Structure 1
């Protein structure tokens, strides 16, 4: 009888101990998490015929090839003129926002392509893929005009004392013609400053690849006129689609330059890839250490570069496709990534997406799987991440719309099943590690996904949520997660 009482007492103490341990694990350990506010009073429609011909209500609609700059507390996006169900006006669209969430259509730069540029490009009448920077107390706006599908292209420059204009055209920066001596195509300029503050222009598209050349800081034009510079990315195998839309960002903490480029067709398979280098002129290597130029050496792959944004769909939503041509912004200690995205249910509706950019422990940029709504990176808790998730792996070999899959982070630290050998752990402030058991294959029997966890707004279900973003050790592919609302 005494033994029985002893056993019962021991079990009661064990239950109490387990209960206290779970309390500490799930509650006491919890920290206060600041969630973003709703980005609008009600969900925003991807397709809205009522605003089709009303520019004042476009907000993020009809944006393509955007580049971003912050001036006097206001964010500006300059982009290719694009319009659903109508002829675009010749000009460069300008939008502005005080918070990266609420956008106002400002207007356009230019009323028409200059006659000499039009003649060079055989009558092309649309400005493409602008970029704007501030140098010497002046704003420098770089634009491109091209005869579609050819190398008859022109990069020009305009300047202004005000970010909202008026702008004065300064003429040619670089131009190319079919059959000339240049490999590069004079299109899609992106301006980046090196460690010493000197400006460079990264540019190019399609078969010629991406090049970088140095600029004269005083004039904003080429330091060596006619010098196409150094190739930093290549098109890949000839059966693959476009390579275009380059941008470069420097991160002082990692001391790397990061080159982003877009592959695929702009209406569906468009996706953004990244490589990094200690030198602004390269070589730029992806997560798997493949050179973005030496593309033919990648056996069995149509391309290189680590995909960080691609076409996707979470549950309860048609998703997004054509997620490419990005811009990059550093704003103090925060980093942002913008790109155009087309509605999954109607690819003619192109929107501006702004996303928070996070940084992994090993110095790689990881894009949020949700559009920005004012969230702040902060310390996270185990309690916050326990639950059901939607998981997307950005397969580098599949540029179609990728559907989310279910993922469970269980309270006992396991993944998907209580008795699974797969498990998770939260380390540091907000780093989540997912361990996938693969004996005789993975180092130490586990492949590890290392991701950053942060609060976000769930645009598909219009509620607050938690996300993760980072990379898989096995294939070096970006992995996204979004916690399912209870």
Structure 2
């Protein structure tokens, strides 16, 4: 009889204890549980220096340093970035800088296109350096568009170079479009970007502060404008020279059926930020999440366009300024956005940033809050999310540095707010929904935020973690990064 009791007691223990452990683990999960997640590896053995005077006159060590106004293209198994002539501490050597990478993470400086601006461009503008190039492949040939301009005036020149190989040599084909003070146009002939519409027809989008952003059809046989005497169709505009707009790019997403226009607002040294609108037609109209037309010459244009990248700082990190003039890349099923960013320690040190782009459920592009380190979207579980996060709201009304605030996701589906009214829920593969109680500020007292969660490299703390990116019900982009307990 005693043996039977001991057996029954043993069975009860065998059943109850595992069940109790499972219950405990469910309600008391580890805060840094990355079970099932493949985090990216460290991009280097040690953190990169954002300001590094040792590389000033050593181009082989430039990597991402001094990249400005980059365009990105994939060719011959490499990713190439062509960019504006820029450096710190001395006048830049003219010639359109070239960098390449195998993985979008490790970059090498490989030289320049040309050694000086053409005589034609000099005669027109008296500009000595190249600005804002753009590269595209059409019918087996590479086309490289570039700008030369007189600073602060519309005496500007968009030129074209061609090559059978991405590495060159490049042949200068002369002017594509020129503008002059008093020519009767409003557009400024800088910042060209050529894209193919869904039927394979190339178009050039271009322009800046002066008259806004325009688009014009390109002859696919010559790479030049079909109508070089017409400035084209207006796509985006702000009030005047005090409301900066420049650096346009357009990309088409076959799955959503939309064209997406990105532009940069404000001043390149600090408040630079990237905005986006979309349209079913490449010639517009392009509207943002709230239906506001990107042609907005009113005093309210600071509220136009979804701000998807802007100056930011996580925690006590100096952060990044001048986060603008982007390039766009579709690589198979993956999309990426590149832009220049200036170090918070010294705003004259500009770097190339590459960010993975993901798509909201309603077809809007958003980008990772951290630089790309090889991550992919993956299925996440609730236990992966519990713990402390840093959250940044990319306020459309304020283009200064947006600093992170604390966000605590609790194991019971609550968000720590002192009132017990905020909640979170994981839906689908990697969609996180936040309902944040903020009476008097949020519509109907709650911010409804839907974000995509993805693994990332925490460049500020130099370790793998999770991040999220998405929007609230007003179209404001929200970033987040999980903080690993020490």
Give the shorter-chain TM-score range.
over 0.9
Equivalent in the alignment of 2:475: 476
Q: What SS does structure 1 have at the residue aligned with 2:210?
A: helix
Q: Could you give the per-residue CA deviations for residues 157-215 of structure 1, whole angstroms, max 9, x where no partner exists?
A: 11001101100011111000001121111100011110101100000000200000110
Equivalent in the alignment of 1:276: 278
Pair 1:213-2:212 in alignment: no
Pair 1:306-2:306 in alignment: yes
Q: What SS does structure 1 have at the residue aligned with 2:84?
A: strand
Q: What SS does structure 1 have at the residue aligned with 2:454?
A: strand
> In 2 relative to 1, CA 240–413 (structure 1 residues): closer, same or farther, beyond 3 Å?
farther
Q: Report how far residue 90 of structure 1 moved.
A: 1.2
State the alpha-carbon separation in 2 of the partners of residues 330 and 26 from structure 1.
Answer: 42
Equivalent in the alignment of 2:127: 124
Where does the alignment leave 5 or more consecutive residues of structure 1 unmatched? 1-12
Q: What SS does structure 2 have at the residue aligned with 1:399?
A: coil
Q: Report how far residue 30 of structure 1 moved.
A: 7.9
Where does the alignment leave 5 or more consecutive residues of structure 2 unmatched? 1-14
Equivalent in the alignment of 1:60: 64
Equivalent in the alignment of 1:389: 389
Contact 2:270 2:311 in 1 (8 A): yes
State the alpha-carbon separation in 2 of the partners of residues 30 and 373 from structure 1.
Answer: 17
1:194 alignment partner, one of 194, 197, 220? 197
Equivalent in the alignment of 1:95: 99
Q: TM-score, normalised by structure 1?
A: 0.92
> In 2 relative to 1, CA 434–240 (structure 1 residues): closer, same or farther, beyond 3 Å?
farther
Equivalent in the alignment of 1:291: 293
Q: What SS does structure 2 have at the residue aligned with 1:400?
A: coil
Contact 2:27 2:412 in 1 (8 A): no
State the alpha-carbon separation in 2 of the partners of residues 186 and 222 from structure 1.
Answer: 13
Q: What SS does structure 1 have at the residue aligned with 2:348?
A: strand
Contact 1:131 1:191 in 2 (8 A): yes
Contact 1:268 1:321 in 2 (8 A): yes
State the alpha-carbon separation in 1 of the partners of residues 340 and 441 from structure 2.
Answer: 39
- Where does 1:424-463 land on structure 2 (aligned, <5 Å)? 424-437=424-437, 446-463=446-463
Pair 1:79-2:83 in alignment: yes
Contact 2:120 2:174 in 1 (8 A): no
Contact 2:161 2:173 in 1 (8 A): yes
Q: Report how far residue 417 of structure 1 moved.
A: 3.9
> In 2 relative to 1, CA 441–101 (structure 1 residues): closer, same or farther, beyond 3 Å?
closer
> In 2 relative to 1, CA 25–358 (structure 1 residues): closer, same or farther, beyond 3 Å?
farther
Equivalent in the alignment of 2:358: 358
Q: Report how far residue 23 of structure 1 moved.
A: 3.6
State the alpha-carbon separation in 1 of the partners of residues 341 and 141 from structure 2.
Answer: 31
Stretch of structure 1 that moved more, 266-275 or 28-37: 28-37
Equivalent in the alignment of 1:464: 464
Q: Report how far residue 136 of structure 1 moved.
A: 1.3
* Aligned length, in residue pairs: 469
Q: Report how far residue 102 of structure 1 moved.
A: 0.5
State the alpha-carbon separation in 2 of the partners of residues 443 and 97 from structure 1.
Answer: 45
State the alpha-carbon separation in 1 of the partners of residues 256 and 46 from structure 2.
Answer: 40
Q: What SS does structure 2 have at the residue aligned with 1:102?
A: coil
State the alpha-carbon separation in 2 of the partners of residues 202 and 470 from structure 1.
Answer: 27
Equivalent in the alignment of 1:112: 116
Q: TM-score, normalised by structure 2?
A: 0.92
Contact 1:209 1:243 in 2 (8 A): yes
Equivalent in the alignment of 1:203: 206
Equivalent in the alignment of 1:9: none
CA RMSD of aligned residues (A): 2.1
- Where does 1:409-424 land on structure 2 (aligned, <5 Å)? 409-417=409-417, 420-424=420-424
Contact 1:390 1:404 in 2 (8 A): yes
1:143 alignment partner, one of 133, 142, 146? 146
> In 2 relative to 1, CA 194–153 (structure 1 residues): closer, same or farther, beyond 3 Å?
same
State the alpha-carbon separation in 2 of the partners of residues 18 and 367 from structure 1.
Answer: 41
